[in-house]
Structure 1
Amino acid sequence: MEESNNYGHQHPLLLLKEHLISNQNGVVALCSRCGDKVSSPSFGCAEECGFYLHKVCAEAPSELNHPFHRDHPLVMKDLAYYKSRFWHCKFCGKHGDKLIYNCSCGLAFHIKCAVFTFNMAQTNFKELEHVPLADPLVYVGNEDKEVDEVAMCFACREPLEKYSYFSPDCGFNLHKKCAELPLRMSHRCHRKHPLVLQFNSERFLCVICRTGQQGGLFYGCSPCGLFIHIECLSPSRNIEDKSHSHPFTLFWRQGTFICDACGTSGNHVAYVCVTCDIMVHRECILLPRVIKSKWHDHRLSHTYFLYREYVKTLNCIICHEEVNAEHGNYSCSKCNDIFHVNCATEDEDSYVIIENEDEEPLDISVNSMIVLEWNDVGEAIVVQHFNHIHSLRLGDKASEYDNKCCDGCLLPISTSFYYCSQCELYLHKVCAELPKVKHVWHHRCQKPLVLTSNKGFRCVKCGHTSNAFSYKCEECNGYTCLRCVIALTPGARTCPGHKHNPLFFYKDYIGQCNACGEDDKGMFRCKDCDICLDVECFSLPITVQDKCDEHLLSLADHDDNNYSESRFCDICEGSRDPNLWFYHCEHCDTSAEVQCVLGKFPFVKVGSIFEEEQQHEHPLTFVKRTYYYPNCKYCDKPCLDFAFECTKPGCNYIVHASCPP
C-alpha cells in the first residue's frame, strides 16, 4: 500500500490493492463520493475512520468538458443541491445519493458514469484495463441485482448476450463494440453534416425506428434535429413478413414519404415492396393483419387502401379526424367503421392480435332481453329482460312519467323506454338493449365487463355512488355505471343540453368543462363551437323535480336574465357563476346550481342495500335521517342526512354516506 494526498479528507489516505475492500466490521465498504461498493484501485483512510474513495472518483475533476455533451460543462456538485428534486443518471438510468456531475441544462450523471464515458470518447482504454473483457456466453453480475439490470448495454440499451462486453465491478454493462464507437461518423441517411455521439438525455425520436428511449448514447445532428439509435445505424437490408406475400427491401431516402401501411409521414429510411408498389416504415412491416379492439365490437382488418364506397364515414372512431383511405388503415367489414392505424394500436392494452384469422370470432355480446312481440314497423314492443321476472312493454308517452327514473341509469324517463305493468320498473330503451357482457376501451383489464343490477357500488369512472345497473369487472371488481358506459361508447354522441350536435369524446384532451368549470382530461367537444364537457356533466339529467319549485326544472347552459349583476341560487341563496350550467324553471323564474338540485347522492335510492366491499360485516341500507341523529362510527359526528345503516336488528352501526363504510 502507498500513501496519497487526502483529497479533502482530514486523514491521510492509502492506495489499497485488494480486489474487494471491507471495513473494520467486515462489511463491503462504500465510496464516499459515488456511494457504490469499493473495489481496487481505491483509497482508504489510514486512520480507518471508514472513509473510502474509488481512484477514479478521487481523481475526477471538479469540471468536465465532455465530448458527449458539448453545449455546457459538467460541474461536480453535492446531491444536497438536488435534495428536493427527483433525478436519475442520464447515462445508466440509475439513481444515486452522493456527488454528481450536473449541467446547467438539467442533466445529471454519476461521477463514474461521466468519467467512464469521457475515457470512452478519448479512447483512454488504459483507464479501463481493470475491466475484464467477458465471454458473451458467461453471465456476469451480482446476485443481488435483477437479471434485467445486468442484461442491457448502457450505451445502446440492447441485450448483452449477443456480443462480448465490458462488465466492471463498478456496475457498467457495455458491449465491446459500443466501447469502441467513433466520436463522429458519416451516414448515408444524413449527408449534410457528420453525426456526433452524444448522451441520449431526452426522448428524441430515432429517424430509423421512430421510437424514443431515454438514457444511453445515440448519434445525432443537433442543428438539423436528427437522431439515430446506435442499434439502428445498420438496419436490415431485407425483411419478410408472413402476412405479406413479398419481401420488403431497404430504401434510403433524403426526403419524406407517406407510409402506405399507417398513412403517416416518414423520412430517411423506408422499406419498399417493388411487386406491390408500396412504401412503408420499418416498424409498419410487422403490423398485425387482424386485431380485436376494445373500441369496437367486431374484428378490425388492416388494409393498404380502401375503396370509399366501403365505408360510411372516413372519420376515425377514436380521434374523429379524417382517415385517408388511400393509405393504410384498420376497418370493420360489418359496420364499415374505420380507424387510423396509430390510433388503433397506440395502446397495447386496448387490443389483441388475432393469430388464427379463419377461426370464427367468439360473440360475447349476449343480448340482455328477448323480444316477445313486434309492432308493424319492426319495433320490439314486448320484451323479457334477464333481470326482471315480468315482461316489459314499450312506453309511448314519456311525459306521463315525469316523476319516474330509469332503473338502469337512474336518469329521468325522457326518451323511449320499457316499463313493467305489474311493478314499478322502468328502463330506457338504450339501457334495456345493452348486452350482458361488454368490452369497454376505458377499462384497463383484459376481461370483459358483466352487466349487474341492484348492487350498491361506486363508479370507477365518474366516482358517483349508485345502486342502479352497472358493469362489473370480474378481474378487479370495479364497477362502471351505465351513464358512463353509454356516454363513452365510441362514435358521435347527442347531448340534449347543447344546441349543436353531435359531440365527440377526445380521450387525451385537457380543458375546462363549460358546465362545472373544473379542469379535466378526457372531454366531449363540439366541432362547431368551443364547448367542452367532462363525462359527468355530459350525463346530467335534462329535467329534474325539486321541492324548491312545483314545476320541472330544465338544464340551462346560459343565463339571459339581467335582473341583477350577480346571479343567485334559489336553494342555497348564495351567488352562482352565470357562466356555468344551472337548472331553471321558465314559469317561476327559479334558478339553482346543479350541485344544489342534485345533491351529493343523486343516483342512489333511499332504502337500497349495499352488500359488497364494505368494512362492516353485515349489509348496509342507504337511509336519510330525519330524526334521532346517532353519531357516525367513523367520524363520531351526528348523522344528519344521508347515511349507511346496518340492516341487522340490534346492530347500531351507522356511518355518513360520505365517510368510508
Structure 2
Amino acid sequence: MEELKNYGHQHPLLMLNQEQLLGNGNGVVDCSRCGEKVSAPCFGCVECCGFYLHKTCAEAPLELNHPFHRHHPLLLLQNPPYTSYTWCKFIYHCSCGLDFHIKCALFTFNIAERNLKELEHVALEDPSFSSKNDGGNLGKCFACWEPLAMYTYFSVGCGFNLHKKCAELPLKMDHLCHRKHPLVLQFNSERLSCKTCQVTQQRGFLYGCSACKLAIHIDCASPLSVIEDKSHPHPFTLFWRRIPFVCDACGTEGHHVAYTCGTCGIMVHKKCISLPRIIGQICHIHRLFHKYFIDKEYFESLNCLWCHEAVDTDYGSYFCADCNVIFHVNCALKEKEWYCIVSQENEDDKSHDIPVNSITKVLETNDAGEATVIEHCEHKHYLMLSDKMREHGDKCCDACLLLISAKFYHCLRCDFFLHKSCAELPKKKLFLKHGCDEEQFSGPKPCILTSDCMFNCGLCRYLSNGFSYKCNECGSHVCLRCLDLLLQDAVKIPGHKHPLLLYFDYEGQCGACGRDFFFAFRCKDCNFQLCKLCVIQPTRVRHKCDEHILALTYDKVNDYAKYHYCDVCEKERDPRHWFYHCETCDTSVHVDCVLGKYSFIKFGGTYSVTIHEHPLTFVKKIHYYPECVTCGKPCEDLSLECAEPGCNYIVHYDC
C-alpha cells in the first residue's frame, strides 16, 4: 500500500483501491483539493479524518509551467485569493491575474502536452451534454467558442469543454500575417485583441506571438475562402492583405484579412459580411437601413445621431430615409441591448407610423383654418382656443402641468386648460426603451395617451396626474415633458447660446445641479453639459414663497456671498448652480425647494375611483389635518378627499 506525505494535510495518505474506498464513507466522498467526487485509485488519510485526494490531484506539482501560459509559472494555492472561488479548494494562480481550478489546469496541461493517456478517464461525450437534451443546446467549446459537437473532451462542471479537433490543434503554426516568428497556441492572459477581427476574446485559446504582442483567434487563423450570407446577394471571397484597409461596410480600418465582392467592388471585414440589413435603434423611432454608399445631397446633416461626429458616406452607414438621420455602423450596433434586428417579413410593416390626432372633433375654425372650438378625447366638455395670458397666465396645462403660454385651449365650464401643442398630440405613439426592454431592446412599443389619475414617469420619476403615454405591454408611463425632450434632435436652453445634443454614453457632472450622470445633453462647442432632469426643468413656476411667477435663472444675480441663500430653506446656495428667482422681490430659491415632490400634481381636480362611492380630489396638508380612514394617522401629506359636500372621507395617497 503506497504511502504519500502530502502538501496541505498533517497526516500521511494511503493509496486506496475501490474496495478500500467503499469501506470508507460508502465510497461517496469529495476530493479535498478539487471538490469533486473521488473515485479509485485515490489517496485517503491514514487517520480516517475525512481527507481524500484524486491520484492526479495528490500528484499535482506545487509549481506548474503551463505550455499555454509561458510568461510565468502557476503556483498551487490552498486558499483562493478571491472570495468568488467558493467551489475551488485549491487553485493554480499567476501574478498576472490568471487563475485555474486545479482540475482545469491539469486538464489543459495534458491537452497541451498531448498526454492523451492521462485523459482516458475523460468521456468523449458526457451524458449531460447529449444533443437530445435541452433542445440540442450543447454549450460552447472553450478553445474556439463555437457550439459543441457530439464528441468533445469534457472537464466536469468548469466549462473546459473542447471539440476533439480543438484538442488536437497544432501547438505552433506559421502564418501569412506574421512571418517573423511562429505563432504559439496559448491562453489570452494578456487580453490582446485579435489582429484579424479586432475583437478581444476574454477566455479560450488563441495563436499568439508574445514577443510581438500579437494574437489571432483560432477561427481567424484559418478563415473560410468563400462566405455567403443572405444579407448580400453575392458571395464574398477571402483576400489576404499585409497592409491596412478601410472596410466598405462599416468605414473602420481592418488588418490582414479582408473579404471582397467582385460584383459590387467592395472589401469588408469578415464580421461585416453578416451585418443586419435593417435594425431598430433605441435612439430613433423609425427603422434604419444599412447602405454601402449614400448620396450626400439627400442629407441636411451628416452627423451621426449617436456620437454627433461626421459620417463618411463613401463607406457603409445606417440611415433613415424618412428623417434624413444617419448613424456610423459601429455606433448603431455599439450596445447589443440597444438595437434589434428587423426580420425581412416585418420590414414593410408601417402600421404604427400613422398618428391619430387626440382632437376627436373640430367644431369651429377661424379664417386661417385654425381650430377654435374642439372636442378632446381626454375631456368631456368643449374646449375653446384662447391667447388671453393676462386673464389665465397663472394657470397650468392639465396635460404637461407647466404654466400655460402662447395659445391654449380652455374649458368654459371647469378649470381645465391645454396648450395647443398638447391638445394636438396623437392618441397613440411608438415609444422607445422603458420597462418592457430591460434585458434586450426589441423595438418601439405602442403607447396610448391617457390621463388616468396618478403615475410615476418611467424616465424622470416625478409623480404626476397630468397626461402620459402608457405602454400597452408593461403599463409604464412617460410624461409629456420627457416625451417632448426625446423628440428633439437638439435642445435649446435659454441659459446657453448653443444647442445641446444627447450623448448616451457620457459620464460627468451636470453644469446646472452638480450631480453625476451617465448620459447627458452636451454642447459640442464648449464644455457644458446637463443631466436629463435639469433639461426638463420648467422655465417659469409659481410657488407660495412669492406672489409673482419665479423664473429659472442660470447666472449669478448678485456676486455678494451673503445673497447666496435660499429663501425657502434658508440654507446656502451654490452660486454655480441654477435657481429660481423673482426680480421684483429679489427672491432666490433652490430648484429642489420650488419643485419638491408634488410640483407636477394638479390639486382640485376630481377623479372617480373604486375605493369610494363619490369622486375624490387631490389635496395636500389641509389646515385641520383630519385622520386617514385607512391608517388613522393625520393627513399631513398628499391625500385624496371626497369632493361631495358633507362627506368627510379622506385617505392618504399611499394608503
Fold shared per TM-score above 0.5: yes
- 1:507 paired with 2:515, answer no
The CA deviation at 1:75 is: 2.3
Alignment equivalent of 1:361, drawn from 350, 356, 371: 350
In structure 1, what residue type is equivalent to 2:28? Answer: V
Structure 1, 64-73 or 16-25: larger mean CA deviation? 16-25
- CA–CA separation in structure 1 for the residues paired with 2:19 and 2:424: 74
- RMSD of aligned alpha carbons: 3.7
- Percent identical across equivalent pairs? 53
Contact 2:352 2:430 in 1 (8 A): no
Aligned to 1:437: 428
Asked if structure 2 preserves the Cα contact closer than 8 Å seen for 1:456 and 1:611, the reply is: no
1:584 has 2:572 as partner: no
Matches within 5 A, 1:22-37: 26=26, 28-37=28-37
2:108 partner SS: helix
Cα distance between partner residues in 2 of 1:330 and 1:80: 48
- Distance (Å, rounded) in 1 between the aligned partners of 2:337 and 2:412: 47
| 1:568 Cα deviation after fit | 0.7
- Residue among 475, 478, 497 paired with 1:477: 475
Gapped runs of 5+ residues in structure 2?
none
Code of the aligned partner of 1:527: K
Which residue matches 2:188?
200
Contact 2:281–2:338, Cα closer than 8 Å, also in 1:
no
Contact 1:552 1:585 in 2 (8 A): yes
In 2, Cα distance between equivalents of 1:612 and 1:98 = 61
TM-aligned CA distance change 1:421 to 1:207, over 3 Å:
farther
Maintained 8 Å contact 2:186/2:208: yes
Measured at CA, do residues 151 and 23 of structure 1 come closer, stay the same or move farther in structure 2, by a change above 3 Å?
A: farther
Q: Which of these residues, 296, 305, 317, is aligned with residue 284 of structure 2?
A: 296
- Normalising to structure 2: TM-score of the pair? 0.87
Report the counterpart of residue 68 of structure 1 in structure 2. Answer: 68
Q: TM-score, normalised by structure 1?
A: 0.86
Distance (whole Å) between structure 2 residues aligned to residue 634 and residue 510 of structure 1: 45
Q: Which residue in the other structure is 2:314 paired with? A: 326
The answer to whether the aligner puts 1:345 opposite 2:372 as a matched pair is no
Please show how residues 307-322 of structure 1 align to structure 2 within 5 Å: 307-322=295-310
Structure-2 separation of matches of 1:646 and 1:27 = 75
* Structure 1 counterpart of 2:177: 189
Amino acid at match of 2:560: Y
Residues 134-283 of structure 1 mapped to structure 2, 5 A cutoff = 134=125, 139=127, 141=129, 151-161=139-149, 164-167=151-154, 172-201=160-189, 204-222=192-210, 224-283=212-271
Q: Does 1:127 align with 2:114?
A: no
Cα-to-partner distance string for 1:108-128 (whole Å, 9 max, x where unaligned): 211111222223233333322
Per-residue deviation at 1:102? 2.1
Give the Cα–Cα distance (whole angstroms) in 2 for the partners of residues 637 and 341 of structure 1: 58
Stretch of structure 1 that moved more, 242-251 or 219-228: 219-228
Q: What residue in structure 2 maps to residue 459 of structure 1?
A: 457
Deviation at 1:59, TM superposition (A): 1.9
How far 1:579 moved relative to its partner? 0.9
| Partner amino acid, structure 1, of 2:399 | G
- 1:620 and 1:222 mapped to 2: Cα distance? 75
Distance (whole Å) between structure 2 residues aligned to residue 97 and residue 612 of structure 1: 58
* Contact kept? 1:262, 1:342, Cα under 8 Å: yes
In the TM superposition, residue 151 of structure 1 has moved relative to its aligned partner by 2.9
Query: Does the CA-based 8 Å contact 2:5-2:12 persist in structure 1?
Result: yes
Deviations 1:386-407 (A, max 9, x none): 2223444444455653312222
Q: Which moved more, 1:39-48 or 1:456-465?
A: 39-48
| Secondary structure of residue in 1 paired with 2:243 | strand
Q: Residues 390, 196 of structure 1: CA spacing in aligned structure 2 closer, same or farther, 3 A cutoff? A: farther
- Structure 2 CA distance, aligned partners of 1:103 and 1:334? 56
2-side partners of 1:374 and 1:647: how far apart?
36
Tell me if the contact between 1:383 and 1:392 (Cα under 8 Å) persists in the aligned partners.
yes
* Distance in 2 (alpha carbons) for counterparts of 1:405 and 1:20: 87
Query: Which residue of 101, 109, 120 corresponds with 2:100?
Result: 109
Question: How far does residue 309 in structure 1 lie from its aligned partner after superposition?
Answer: 1.1
Structure 1 position 561 matched with structure 2 position 550: no
Match of 2:538 among 527, 541, 546: 541
Aligned residue identity for 1:595: D
Aligned-partner SS, 1:284: helix
Q: By how many angstroms is 1:149 displaced?
A: 8.6
Counterpart amino acid of 1:230? I
Q: Write the letter of the residue equivalent to 1:462.
A: C
Secondary structure of the structure 2 residue equivalent to 1:387: coil
Query: How far did 1:307 drift?
Result: 0.8
SS at match of 2:241: strand
- State the alpha-carbon separation in 1 of the partners of residues 366 and 194 from structure 2: 61
Alpha-carbon distance, 1:305 to partner: 0.9
Q: 1:300 to 1:643 in 2, by over 3 A?
A: same
Q: Matched residues in 2 for 1:103 and 1:258: separation?
A: 39
Correspondences of 1:339-418 after superposition (within 5 Å): 339-346=327-334, 347-356=336-345, 359-370=348-359, 372=362, 381-396=372-387, 398=389, 400-418=391-409
Q: Encode CA deviations 1:524-544: one digit per residue, 9 max, x unaligned.
A: 111222221111111101011
What displacement does 1:345 show? 3.1
Q: Specify the alignment match of 1:90 in structure 2.
A: none
What CA distance in whole angstroms lies between the structure 1 residues aligned with 2:631 and 2:64?
Answer: 59
Matched, 1:623 2:611: no
Q: How many angstroms apart in 2 are the aligned matches of 1:106 and 1:650?
A: 71
Structure 1: give runs of 5+ residues left out of the alignment: 88-94
Amino acid in the other structure paired with 1:363: H
